[in-house]
């Protein structure tokens, strides 16, 4: 599965981004919802992200040595990362830092509520490294990580929102 490869690349990209200020649980949930609505079997609909206020950071559009693109939204402290790599084009990843450890649970609750408003069948599931919200073919995998300026008291989250086309038997 490409998820571990994508996660490793995103972690390295976000390691250097120590300038992220903490985001509120509601704002993170909104970004995850934007990704949820943008992912499809055809990949991430960038125009849909644009309609919700996200824009590409021009400096990341033409990096020859990296397929990663950073998207920002006015007033948001978090980022969305996309890739032009066709093997991982179905993923829209939110990188954020939280105000406190206590905000992690609040953020998960806000994400669940937001995603349920789009799809009543969304269910939370424990995963090896965190939590996922699933309503196949869409999912949102939430993990803590040490990038984006994370500290012990202010953890960072990486939320990979994807679209998995069911395997044909």
Does 154 fall in a domain? yes
Does 168 fall in a domain? no
Structural domain that includes position 74: 3-163
Measure the CA–CA gap between 82 and 58, rounded to whole angstroms: 13
pLDDT tens for residues 78-117? 999 998 776 666 799 999 999 998 999 999 999 999 999 9
Helices of type H across 16-148: 25-38, 46-51, 58-61, 102-118
Measure the CA–CA gap between 136 and 85, rounded to whole angstroms: 22
Does 111 fall in a domain? yes
Does 169 fall in a domain? no
Measure the CA–CA gap between 7 and 147, rounded to whole angstroms: 12
Q: Which two tokens stand for residue 10?
A: 């995103």
pLDDT tens for residues 35-88? 999 999 888 999 999 999 999 887 766 655 667 889 999 988 899 999 877 666
Total number of domains constituting the chain:
1
């Amino acid at each position: 599965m490409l998820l571990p490869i994508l996660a490793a690349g995103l972690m390295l990209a976000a390691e250097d981004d120590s300038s992220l200020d903490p985001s509120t649980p509601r704002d993170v949930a909104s970004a995850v919802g934007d990704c949820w609505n943008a992912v499809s079997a055809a990949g991430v609909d960038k125009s849909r992200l644009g309609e919700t206020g996200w824009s590409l950071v021009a400096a990341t559009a033409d990096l020859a040595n990296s397929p990663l693109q950073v998207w920002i939204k006015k007033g948001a402290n978090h980022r969305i990362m996309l890739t032009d790599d066709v093997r991982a084009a179905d993923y829209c990843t939110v990188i954020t830092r939280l105000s406190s450890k206590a905000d992690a649970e609040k953020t998960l609750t806000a994400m669940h509520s937001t995603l349920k408003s789009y799809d009543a069948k969304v269910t939370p599931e424990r995963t090896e490294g965190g939590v996922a919200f699933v309503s196949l073919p869409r999912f949102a995998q939430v993990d803590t990580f040490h990038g984006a300026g994370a500290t012990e008291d202010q953890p960072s989250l990486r939320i990979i929102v994807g679209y998995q086309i069911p395997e044909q038997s």
